[in-house]
C-alpha cells in the first residue's frame, strides 16, 4: 500500500463513519423546508423566513418522533433493520438535501419576482444564508427544548412531570406576564405621549375636541386625536371608547357633535369605520377630501384599541355593533332633515372596518330603512366577511387579508374583485393557508398599492348619488 493510500484510507473511513440521520428525519426536514419555502404573497425578511422554516422543521421532527415512539414497538426488528440500513439513510439524506436546495432556489426566484413587482431590491445570497442560519438555530433550539422536557418528564414520572410543567408555565405567566404587559403598556403610553406632543388640540369653539366640544379631547384616544387634529378643509368628528359608555351612546354623542360643528351642513357626510385599533387611514381621508373638494364631514367611532387581527378573532361583534349604531344614527338624522337640506351619505371601511360597515349596511337594507348611502367603499376587506355586491371594492391580489380565511386551507380564494399588483402564487391545499398566515405579519411593510396598504383611491373612488 502506498503512503498516499495509507493516508487516504483513515480519512475515508472517518467520513464513512459519520452519523447519518434516519430516513424519517431526512424526509421530515426536507418536507417541512419545502412547505416553508412555497410561494407566498409578499417579500419576506430573512428573519421571518428563518423563524418560519425553523418552526415548521421543529414541528416535523416532533411529529416524526411521536409517530416513531408509537409505531416502532409494533414493527418487527427485521423490518426495522432492513428499512433503516445505512445505505437507505444515505440515499434519503442525499435526496432530501437536493430537494431542499431546489426548493430554496425556487423560493429565491419567486421572492425576486415579488420584489421586482413592488419596487424592492432583490434578495442576495446573504439573505438566504442568514435565513438558513436562523432556521437551523430555531429548529435546533425548539428540538432541544422538546428533548429536555421529554427527559424531565421521564425522570420525574409522567404525572409529577406534567404537574411541574403546568405549575412552571403558570409561574412564568404570573411573574413574567405582568412585567411584559407593563413594559408594552409603558411603550404604548410613551408612543402616545410622543404622538400627543406633536398634536395641537383645537382651540376654536366650533372645532371638535375644542373647549366647547361635546366630546373631550382626552376621551378620543390616540387615534381619534390624530384623526381630528389633522383636519383642515373637512369637518372631522370622532367618538373614542372613553367618550361614552357604550356603542349606542357614543353614536348619539357623535351625531350631536357633528350637528354642533356644522357637519350636516356640508354637501356630503362620510361614515368612516375604523380598524380594530381605532385607526382611520390618512390616505383614505386625503382621498375623501380630494373627492369632495373639502365640502365634506367625516365621522368615526372607536370600538376597540386592540390590533385588528385580535379584534377580528375575538371581538368581531363589537365592530359590527359599533358600525351599525353610528351608521344608523347618522342616517336617521339625515333622513329627518328637510329633503333640500340633506347631505349625501357615504360609508367607508378598511380591513375590519369593512366588516363592521358591511354589517351596518346589511342591517339597514334588510329592514327597509330609508337610510340608503350614495356609495360604499371597502378597502382590503377580509375574505368572505363582507357584503361586496353594490359596493366599490379595493383589493390587492398580494393582500393576505383578502386571501385569509379558514376555508383557504381547502379551497381557492375568490380574487374576482381584486386588482393584480404582483405575481399570484399557485394555490396549494393547506400550504397556501400557512403561507398567507405568515404573510399577514408583513402585510403593512410594503409600498402603498401592495399588500394591505391602499392609497388615496380609498376616497377618490367613491361614487356619486344616482
Q: pLDDT (tens digit, 9 = 90+) per residue, 39-83?
A: 999 999 999 999 999 999 999 998 888 887 777 777 777 666 666
pLDDT confidence of residue 206: 66
Query: Residue 92: CB partners within 8 Å, gap ≥ 6?
Result: 21, 23, 26, 27
pLDDT exceeding 70 applies to what percent of the chain?
A: 82
Give the range among 67-76, 122-131, 197-206, 303-312 with minimum mean pLDDT: 197-206
- Tell how far CA 126 is from the center of its chain: 27
The full length of the chain comes to 466
Architecture per CATH, 205-396+451-460: 3-Layer(aba) Sandwich (3.40)
> Of 415, 366, 357, which is closest to residue 391 (Cα–Cα)?
357
* b/e per residue 164-193 (b: at least 16 CB within 10 A): eeeeeeeeeeeeeeeeeeeeeeeeeeeeee
Quick one: average pLDDT of 433-446? 93
> Of 416, 437, 397, 427, which is closest to residue 118 (Cα–Cα)?
397
CA dihedral of residues 96, 98, 101, 105 (deg, nearest 10): -130
**Residue 346 DSSP one-character state:** E
Extents of the domains making up the chain: 17-156, 158-198, 205-396+451-460
pLDDT confidence of residue 185: 36
Selected residue with higher pLDDT from 121 and 77: 121
State yes or no: pLDDT of 311 exceeds 60: yes
CA pair distance 52, 37, nearest whole angstrom:
9
Task: Compute the mean pLDDT over every residue in the chain, rounded to the nearest whole number.
Answer: 84
- Kindly tell me the burial class for residue 252, based on how many C-beta atoms sit within 10 Å of its own C-beta (0-12, 13-18, 19 or more): middle
pLDDT confidence of residue 434: 96
Q: How many CA atoms lie within 13 A of 424 on its CB side?
A: 14
Contact 234/311 with Cβ under 8 angstroms?
A: no
> Of 395, 401, 364, 384, which is closest to residue 271 (Cα–Cα)?
364
Contact 177/204 with Cβ under 8 angstroms?
A: no
State yes or no: pLDDT of 169 exceeds 60: no
Phi, psi of 410 (to 5 degrees): -125, -10
> What is the per-residue pLDDT across 247-260, written as a single tens digit (0 to 9) for each?
999 999 999 999 99
> What is the per-residue pLDDT across 365-374, written as a single tens digit (0 to 9) for each?
876 677 889 9
List 298's β-bridge partners, or say none. 236, 270
pLDDT confidence of residue 259: 96
Selected residue with higher pLDDT from 447 and 171: 447
> Of 100, 133, 75, which is closest to residue 21 (Cα–Cα)?
100
Amino acid at each position: 500500500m502506498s503512503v498516499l493510500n495509507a493516508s487516504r484510507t483513515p480519512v475515508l473511513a472517518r467520513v464513512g463513519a459519520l452519523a447519518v440521520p434516519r430516513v424519517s428525519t431526512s424526509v421530515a426536514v426536507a418536507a417541512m423546508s419545502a412547505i416553508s419555502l412555497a410561494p407566498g404573497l409578499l417579500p419576506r425578511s430573512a428573519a421571518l423566513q428563518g423563524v418560519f422554516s425553523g418552526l415548521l422543521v421543529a414541528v416535523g421532527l416532533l411529529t416524526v418522533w411521536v409517530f416513531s415512539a408509537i409505531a416502532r414497538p409494533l414493527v418487527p426488528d427485521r423490518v426495522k433493520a432492513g428499512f433503516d440500513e445505512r445505505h437507505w439513510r444515505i440515499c434519503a439524506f442525499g435526496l432530501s438535501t437536493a430537494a431542499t436546495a431546489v426548493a430554496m432556489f425556487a423560493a429565491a426566484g419567486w421572492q425576486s419576482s415579488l420584489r421586482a413587482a413592488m419596487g424592492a431590491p432583490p434578495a442576495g445570497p446573504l439573505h438566504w444564508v442568514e435565513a438558513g442560519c436562523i432556521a437551523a438555530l430555531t429548529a435546533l433550539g425548539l428540538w432541544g427544548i422538546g428533548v429536555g422536557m421529554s427527559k424531565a418528564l421521564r425522570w420525574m414520572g409522567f404525572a409529577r412531570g406534567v404537574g411541574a410543567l403546568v405549575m412552571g408555565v403558570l409561574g412564568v405567566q404570573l411573574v413574567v406576564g405582568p412585567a411584559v404587559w407593563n413594559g408594552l403598556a409603558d411603550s404604548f403610553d410613551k408612543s402616545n405621549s410622543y404622538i400627543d406632543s406633536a398634536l395641537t388640540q383645537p382651540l376654536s369653539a366650533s372645532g371638535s375636541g375644542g373647549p366647547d366640544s361635546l366630546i373631550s379631547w382626552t376621551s378620543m384616544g390616540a387615534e381619534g386625536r390624530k384623526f381630528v387634529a389633522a383636519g383642515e378643509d373637512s369637518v372631522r368628528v370622532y367618538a373614542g371608547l372613553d367618550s361614552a359608555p357604550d356603542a349606542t351612546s357614543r353614536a348619539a354623542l357623535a351625531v350631536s357633535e357633528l350637528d354642533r360643528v356644522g357637519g350636516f351642513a356640508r354637501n356630503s357626510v362620510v361614515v368612516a369605520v375604523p380598524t380594530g385599533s381605532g385607526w382611520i387611514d390618512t390616505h383614505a381621508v386625503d382621498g375623501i377630501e380630494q373627492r369632495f373638494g373639502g365640502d365634506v364631514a367625516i365621522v368615526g367611532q372607536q370600538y376597540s384599541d386592540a390590533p385588528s387581527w385580535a379584534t377580528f378573532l375575538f371581538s368581531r361583534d363589537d365592530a359590527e355593533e359599533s358600525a351599525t349604531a353610528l351608521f344608523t344614527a347618522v342616517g336617521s338624522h339625515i333622513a329627518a332633515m328637510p329633503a333640500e337640506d340633506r347631505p349625501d351619505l357615504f360609508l367607508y371601511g378598511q380591513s375590519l372596518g369593512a366588516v363592521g360597515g358591511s354589517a351596518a349596511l346589511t342591517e339597514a337594507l334588510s329592514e327597509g330603512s330609508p337610510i340608503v348611502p350614495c356609495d360604499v367603499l371597502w378597502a382590503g376587506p377580509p375574505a368572505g366577511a363582507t357584503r361586496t355586491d353594490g359596493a366599490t371594492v379595493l383589493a390587492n391580489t398580494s393582500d393576505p387579508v383578502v386571501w385569509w380565511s379558514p376555508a383557504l386551507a381547502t379551497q381557492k380564494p375568490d380574487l374576482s374583485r381584486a386588482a393584480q399588483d404582483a405575481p399570484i402564487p399557485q394555490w396549494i391545499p393547506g400550504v397556501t393557508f400557512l403561507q398567507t398566515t405568515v404573510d399577514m405579519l408583513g402585510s403593512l411593510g410594503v409600498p402603498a398599492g401592495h399588500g394591505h396598504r391602499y392609497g388615496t383611491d380609498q376616497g377618490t373612488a367613491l361614487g356619486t348619488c344616482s
